[in-house]
């Protein structure tokens, strides 16, 4: 029995060692990014792991930069993501609820069409989206928000999977008691889907912080960096002109670290809801 125990002990130690090694491998590049953000560099390229010279000037430089107004970007993104979060969450949840709990004539058709639409690569729509928003004269943050919200109607899969797992008998009981479907939705459906609401809200909140493609298409023609969101703004720092990327490269890294921190924290909070949501969706398909 002692040998078995010793064996277990060895196995545990080995597993811990493996885990620590893996964590090191995984976090090594991240640690390097943070180190790079603290290094003094004027060549636009960081070639060492350990900075030759530590400095905080990248951070202060990024915050004070007039050309690339970091604080404006933060404000813009916060605005877009908050509005988009509220609207998208409502839309996603109500679509998912409708498709999962209500029965109506074109339900099956809707599900099929949604599936088909989801298979067209999103990039195909970029030029069209640009001109649609332009004809509304909305090539701005409001237009960008509309694009994010407009896509919410098709992002119902995970939430629908979640609703599918809740037994329908609860609704039916309430309906027999004379509740309308709206009341059931309001007083039973929504409260029960709290974890799903949190999950959807967090994902839709994070999306504008990491999207640099659509925001670039829609916001770039203004040519005014004050109107950018953070992801496009930072990305644009690297890709706007010859010779300048060297000046802004380390500031870019510092800016990235600054926004990565809050997003990471949100993500860690979201983890739990994420797992619940995905598995609920995966269970049912």
Partner 1 sequence: MKLWQKFAVGSTALISATVLAACGSSNSDSSSTSSKGGVSGSVKLWVDNTQVSSYKAIVKDFNKKYPDVKVKVTQSPNGSSNAKTDVAKDPAKAADVFEVPNDQLGQMASAGYINPLSPDATKTVKKNNVASAVKGVTWKNKLYAFPFAMQAQTLYYNKAKFSDEDVKDWDTMTSKGVVATDFTVPYNVYPIFLSAGTEMYGKSGEDLKGTNVNTQAGVNAMTWYAAQKHNKGVMQTSNVLNQLKSGKAGAILDGPWDAVNIRKLLGKNFGVAPYPTVTIGGKKVQMQAFLGIETFAVNSNTPTKSQKAAATLAEFITNKESQLRIYKDQGQIPVDKAAEASDTFTKDPVAVAVKTMAQSSHSTLMPKMPQMATLWDQAAPLINGAYSGSIKPADYMTKLTAFHNAVSKKN
Partner 2 sequence: MFKRKNKLPPAATYREVWRKGDWATKLSFFVMGASAFKNRQWVKGAAFLIAEVAFLVWLVFGGISSLSMLSNLGTIKTKKVVYSESQGVYLTKLPDNSVVILLFGVLAVLLLVAMIGLYIVNLRATRTLYVLNRDHEHIESNHEELASLLDRRLHGVLLAVPIVGIMAFTVLPTIYMISMAFTNYNSHHSIGFSWTGFQAFQNVLSGDLAGTFFPVLGWTLVWAVCATATTFFFGVLLAMLIESKGIKHKAFWRTMFIIVYAVPQFVSLLMMAQFLDLQGPLNNLLLSWHWIAKPINFIGASANPLVARITVIVVNMWVGIPVSMLVSTAIIQNLPEDQIEAARMDGANAFQVFHSITFPQILFVMAPSLIQQFIGNINNFNVIYLLTGGYPMNNNYSGAGDTDLLVTWLYNLTFGQTQRYNASAVLGILIFIISAAFSLFAYRRTNAFKEG
Which 196-225 residues touch partner 2, going by CB under 8 A?
A: 209-210, 212-213
Instruction: Outline where 119-244 has alpha helix (H).
Output: 126-135, 141-150, 157-165, 169-176, 181-184, 190-192, 194-210, 214-219, 230-238
137 makes contact with partner 1 (CB under 8 A): yes
Which of partner 2, partner 1, none lies near 55, with the C-beta cut-off 5 to 8 A by kind? Answer: none
- Which of 79, 132, 142, 190 is the binder for partner 2 (CB under 8 A)? 132
Q: How far is the CB of 136 from partner 1 (least distance, A)?
A: 6
For residues 212 and 182, is the Cβ–Cβ distance under 8 A? no
10 lines the binding site for partner 2 (CB under 8 A): no
Binding to partner 1, residues 218-237 (CB under 8 A): 220-225, 236
Residue 126 touching partner 2 (CB under 8 A): yes
In the structure, how many helices (H) and strands (E) does the chain have? Answer: 14, 0
Of 7, 67, 165, 271, the residue at the interface with partner 1 (CB under 8 A) is 67
Provide the token pair at 149: 């919200």
Binding string to partner 2 for residues 58 to 87, with x set by CB under 8 A, is what? ------------------------------
Mutual angle of helices 126-135 and 141-150, in 10-degree steps: 130
| Interatomic CA distance for residues 38 and 265, integer angstroms | 21
Q: Are 230 and 250 in contact (CB under 8 A)?
A: no
| N residues, the chain | 285
Binding site residues, partner 1, CB under 8 A: 42-45, 47, 67, 130-132, 134-137, 139, 217, 220-225, 236, 239-244, 246-247
């Amino acid at each position: 029995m002692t040998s078995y125990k010793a064996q277990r002990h060895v196995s545990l130690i080995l597993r811990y060692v493996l885990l620590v090694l893996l964590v090191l491998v995984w976090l090594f590049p991240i640690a390097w990014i943070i180190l790079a953000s603290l290094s003094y560099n004027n060549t636009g390229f960081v070639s060492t792991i350990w900075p030759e010279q530590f400095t905080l000037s990248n951070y202060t430089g990024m915050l004070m930069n007039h050309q690339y107004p970091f604080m404006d970007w933060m404000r813009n993104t916060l605005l877009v993501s908050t509005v988009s979060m509220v609207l998208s969450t409502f839309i996603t949840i109500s679509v998912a609820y409708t498709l999962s709990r209500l029965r109506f004539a074109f339900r099956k058709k809707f599900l099929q069409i949604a599936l088909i639409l989801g298979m067209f690569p999103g990039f195909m729509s970029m030029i069209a989206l640009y001109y649609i928003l332009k004809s509304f004269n909305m090539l701005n943050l409001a237009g960008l928000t509309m694009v994010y919200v407009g896509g919410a109607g098709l992002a119902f899969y995970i939430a629908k999977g979640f609703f599918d797992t809740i037994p329908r008998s609860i609704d039916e009981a309430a309906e027999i008691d004379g509740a309308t479907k709206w009341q059931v939705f309001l007083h039973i459906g929504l409260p029960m889907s709290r974890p799903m609401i949190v999950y959807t809200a967090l994902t839709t909140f994070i999306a504008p912080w990491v999207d640099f493609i659509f925001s670039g298409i829609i916001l770039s023609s203004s040519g005014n960096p004050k109107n950018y969101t953070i992801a496009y703004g930072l990305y644009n720092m690297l890709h706007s002109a010859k010779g300048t990327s060297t000046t802004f490269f380390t500031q870019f890294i510092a800016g990235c670290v600054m926004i990565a921190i809050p997003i990471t924290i949100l993500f860690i909070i979201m983890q739990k809801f994420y797992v619940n949501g995905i598995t609920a969706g995966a269970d049912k398909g």
